[in-house]
Amino acid sequence: MPEFSRTWWGKRFLLALAMFTDPARLGRGATYARTGRVKEHTIVGGKVTAKVRGSINPYFGVYKEPTYTTTIAIKQYGEADWTKLIARIAANARQVTQLLQGEVPDTIETVFEELKLHLLPHSQKEFTTTCSCPDYANPCKHIAGVYYVLAGDLDADPFLLFELRGLSRQRLREELARSPLGQILAASLEPEQAPLATAAPSYYTRPTRRPAPETTLKEFWAGAKRLPAPEPAGRTGVPALQVKKQGDFPAFWPKDASFIGVMEEVYERVRSKSPELR
């Protein structure tokens, strides 16, 4: 059941059917709907007409997969009943708001019960169903399959409930919008449209023409000015760096004097006398 009914009204529709329909036939109908055996269906004037793929059954003399025509109609209410129902619904702000937003209020059945009517199916007597299959039972599995497909349609379009009962969605919207509460609520539900203003384009700079600078090929490739000569590298901040990597006391050096200290002094004397070695 959850596959075909996500909304409360879709679930209530199938729950109402389960109260007066053979569970085994409903189960086979769910399989028909789930496996895509309901090829097509239309709803015109509150009447559902569907084409359903049948099964091969030699017992009934069916040796080739057939296609059956199935119809479902629910008892519809007359003009006088709808006039009373709309007047009661239009007096309830919550119900008007939800219906104008495309939802079925969970208290809608109370309004119908006050007039001893029902929006959702209440008994098998409310249904008129036919199927061209040879099964004598009604509803057969083909009709049950269409029931499940119809429950999925009700999830997507709750106004089908009213259409099946004889009131088109267009008239329901018009009647609710025409009521005093509907006029106020419809105006509040309309999104406010801010006036559009044209702004001057400021997100780009217009291109301008400028004469190309006069230059020779040599100046183009070498540049108008020579690059500055590189400055001579300064002396390293660590004197006798290579000597220091070998340690302070090599094997050949006595332990009473620092080998690195002596070499630093030698390096310093050489640099002072030969500046080009810096």
| pLDDT digits 0-9 by tens, 242-254 | 666 666 667 777 7
pLDDT for the residue numbered 242: 64
Say how far apart CA 50 and CA 47 lie, in whole Å: 10
**Owning domain of residue 265:** 241-278
The reply to whether 185 and 247 lie within a common domain is no
Model confidence at 117, pLDDT cuts 50, 70, 90, reads very high
Choose the final residue of a domain: 189, 223, 256. Answer: 189
Closest C-alpha to 69, from 127, 129, 132: 132
Please tell me whether residue 238 adopts helix, strand or coil conformation: coil
> pLDDT tier at 237 (50, 70, 90 boundaries)?
low
Boundary (domain end) residue, out of 189, 210, 227 = 189
- Does the pTM surpass 0.85? The reply is no
Least confident range from 89-98, 107-116, 175-184: namely 175-184
Q: What is the DSSP string of 133-158?
A: SS--SSS-HHHHHHHHHHHHHHHH-T
88-92, 123-127, 143-147, 198-202: range with lowest mean pLDDT: 198-202
From 82, 74, 76, 157, select the one nearest 112 (Cα to Cα).
Answer: 82
Is 52 a domain residue? yes
Long-range contacts of 21-25 (CB under 8 A, 24+ apart): 21/124, 21/139, 21/144, 21/147, 22/137, 25/137, 25/139, 25/140, 25/141, 25/144
Tokens of 210: 């400028």
User: Which is it for strands 67-74 and 47-53: parallel, antiparallel or unpaired?
Assistant: antiparallel
Identify the CA nearest to 122 among candidates 71, 65, 74, 162: 74
CA dist., res. 160 & res. 168, Å (int): 8
Q: Confirm whether 222 is domain-assigned.
A: no
Same domain (yes/no): 28, 128: yes
Question: Beta partners for 130?
Answer: 71
27 and 122 co-located in one domain: yes
Q: What is the Cα–Cα distance from 164 to 20, expressed in whole angstroms?
A: 19
Domain membership flag for residue 169: yes
Same domain, yes or no: 24 and 155: yes
Alpha-helical (H) ranges within the chain are: 8-20, 23-34, 79-90, 93-100, 108-114, 141-156, 160-164, 169-178, 180-189, 217-222, 241-244, 259-273
Q: In this model, does residue 193 exceed pLDDT 70?
A: no
Please give the residue that has the higher pLDDT: either 17 or 72: 72
Is the predicted pLDDT of residue 236 greater than 90, yes or no? Answer: no
| Integer angstrom CA distances of residue 76 from 106, 120, 126, 184 | 21, 11, 9, 30
Rounded mean pLDDT, 183-207: 62
Q: Please state the rounded mean pLDDT for residues 253-263.
A: 75
**Cβ neighbours for 184, distance < 8 A, ≥ 6 positions apart:** none
Structurally, the chain folds into a number of domains equal to: 2
pLDDT of amino acid 2: 42
pLDDT of residue 16: 82
Provide the pLDDT for residue 189.
53
Tokens for 267, please give them. 């390096």
pLDDT recorded at residue 81: 93
Supply angle C-alpha 267, 271, 276, rounded to 5: 135
Of 13 and 69, which is predicted with more confidence? Answer: 69
* 13 pLDDT more than 50: yes
Give the chain's mean pLDDT: 80
On whether both 181 and 263 belong to a single domain, the answer is no
65 in any annotated domain: yes
Side-chain half-sphere CA neighbours of 210 within 13 A? 6
Kindly state whether residues 89 and 150 are assigned to the same domain: yes
Do the domain assignments include residue 140? yes
For residues 62 and 146, membership in a common domain is answered with yes
- Among 189, 216, 233, where does a domain finish? 189
Q: Which long-range contacts does 251-257 make (Cβ < 8 Å, 24+ apart)?
A: none
pLDDT at 158: 81
Residues 13-19 have a mean pLDDT of: 84
Is the residue at 110 inside a domain? yes
Same domain, 138 and 16: yes
pLDDT at residue number 67: 93
Q: Is residue 143 located within the same domain as residue 39?
A: yes
Same domain, 273 and 170: no
Most confident listed range (27-41, 187-201, 251-265): 27-41
261, 132: one domain = no
Q: Are residues 139 and 276 in the same domain?
A: no
Of 100, 105, 93, whose CA–CA distance to 7 is shortest?
Answer: 105
Q: What is the pLDDT of residue 1?
A: 42
Omega of the bond prior to 139 within 30 degrees of 0, cis?
yes
Whether 99 is in a domain gets the answer yes
Tokens 């119908």 -> residue: 112
